[in-house]
Amino acid sequence: MTNHDQFLSRSAEQMKESAIRRMGTVLASGRDIISFAPGYPAPETFPWADFREIARELLGGADGGVLQYGPTRGYRPLLDTIVGIMRQREMPTRLEELLVTTGSQQGLDLIARVLLDPGDVVLVELPSYTGALTAFRNVQARIVGVPQEADGIDLAALDATDERLRREGHRVKLLYVVPNFQNPTGLLIGRDKRQRLLEWAQRRDVLIVEDDPYRELYFEGTTEPDVRPIKADDGDGRVIYLSSFSKTLAPGFRVAWIAAAAPLAAKFELAKQSADLLTGALDQRVVYEACRRGVLDRQLPRLRQHYREKRDTMERSLRQALGELVSWPEPKGGFFLWLTLPAAIDADAMIPRAVEHGVIYVAGEAFFVDAHAAPTMRLSFSAPTVAQIGEGVSRLAAAIRAELDDSAGITAARASRP
């Protein structure tokens, strides 16, 4: 048998399956398992009837463009729609600054390929979105984490880390942040801090990558100024902004966008050409029609209510089942709750026990780069039903208590040794 390993590129050698994807294997085993692992939208919220009608009309055959190759930048009417969305979000954008991408995940990959050489530094929040870490890792960038506070990334630590890296001779190119309802912590970067981050990036001559798929999914108490993008104050092309229709319409379309200074957008376009020529033409048309017919606008208030109810259920269930044993920052929007467990628990090591109890999650360490936070986990409340959330939290609590009993037993046995 041919040894294929010897043919792999250096970057392919380093590629590994993400912890979240690995969880898919557990689910596929056919057991009764409630999953808090992947950040999938709830399929019952998809506007199926609207999509059916739109697709039926588009596939009528009257317009050949629906199934044809098209411009790499994107379907022009959809680009115009995105210009409108960007204006609503207080980021006036010109067409030459935009590119439709095959999900924001492709946007992250293009950014990595266009901007990073091996060894270049990307600063990231700790913990941070695994998909971005993978994209940066694939081009052999040096990824360095910066801790977060209750209102997002710690600015003093950011500056000190940057200073140290420069002193050591590294080139710090990008700062990657998810300011709104971060994946995995659910945190929101404070209003004031957004402004200061931008000033910091200008002073340090670093580009900010602002990844913003969750901003529309805010719950009570959060207002427009709280989710105002960093890019809204960016006068000199310092910020590369990404957003997506995955969480608001449906991720299966794979339609998202990047907004960046025109020369960068042009390079992203070239890199995209070699990846896939263009984002699916039919997908872009369906998304465009959904925007034009008001489907997206009708969806947003429904989604906010839907996910808020699930967030409430998860918080209530956790308080009832685990009380003071666990803590978390309240997610004010988005899909995720970041749980801190008693120090004796290693969330990764506990996975087999959780599976035995019929529940899974993503252990916190998947979201770290150069530090570990063993007693943490990400719970996603978006896809399970309200009833499953209640039941899943009971199962999780049983697993945690059993794990604690074991570790207390081990400690007691050690203490009683002569």
Ligand X SMILES: Cc1ncc(COP(=O)(O)O)c(C=O)c1O
Q: Give the Cα separation of 217 and 180 in Å (integer).
A: 9
Residue 117: phi and psi, rounded to 5, are: -95, 160
Smallest distance from the beta carbon of 242 to ligand X, in angstroms?
Answer: 7
Query: Is 27 or 404 the residue whose CB approaches ligand X more closely?
Result: 27
Secondary structure letter of residue 344 according to DSSP: T
Smallest distance from the beta carbon of 98 to ligand X, in angstroms?
Answer: 15
Query: Is 137 or 395 the residue whose CB approaches ligand X more closely?
Result: 137
Task: Give the chain's length.
Answer: 418
**Residues in contact with ligand X by the rule CB under 6 A:** 39, 103-105, 129, 131, 178, 183, 211, 213, 244, 246, 251, 256
Q: Give the Cα separation of 11 and 139 in Å (integer).
A: 7
Query: Is 214 or 394 the residue whose CB approaches ligand X more closely?
Result: 214
Other beta carbons less than 10 A from residue 53's beta carbon: 14
- Which three-class secondary structure string do you get for 156-207? HHHHHHHHHHHHCCCCEEEEEECCCCCCCCCCCCCHHHHHHHHHHHHHHCCE
Q: Give the Cα separation of 44 and 295 in Å (integer).
A: 15
Smallest distance from the beta carbon of 399 to ligand X, in angstroms?
Answer: 25
Comparing CA positions, the residue from 400, 385, 374 lying closest to residue 318 is 400
Smallest distance from the beta carbon of 214 to ligand X, in angstroms?
Answer: 7
Element (H, E) at 362: strand 362-363
Smallest distance from the beta carbon of 362 to ligand X, in angstroms?
Answer: 12
Question: Residue number with the shortest CB distance to ligand X?
Answer: 103
Burial class (CB in 10 A: 0-12, 13-18, 19+), 289: buried
Smallest distance from the beta carbon of 158 to ligand X, in angstroms?
Answer: 19
Q: Give the Cα separation of 384 and 336 in Å (integer).
A: 12
Query: Is 103 or 127 the residue whose CB approaches ligand X more closely?
Result: 103
Query: Is 104 or 394 the residue whose CB approaches ligand X more closely?
Result: 104
Smallest distance from the beta carbon of 254 to ligand X, in angstroms?
Answer: 7
Helices first, then strands: H and E counts in the chain: 13, 13
Query: Is 72 or 244 the residue whose CB approaches ligand X more closely?
Result: 244
Query: Is 244 or 317 the residue whose CB approaches ligand X more closely?
Result: 244
Smallest distance from the beta carbon of 104 to ligand X, in angstroms?
Answer: 4
Query: Is 34 or 249 the residue whose CB approaches ligand X more closely?
Result: 249
- Provide the edge-to-edge strand list for the sheet that holds 172-177: 98-102, 255-259, 239-244, 207-211, 172-177, 121-126, 142-149, 152-153
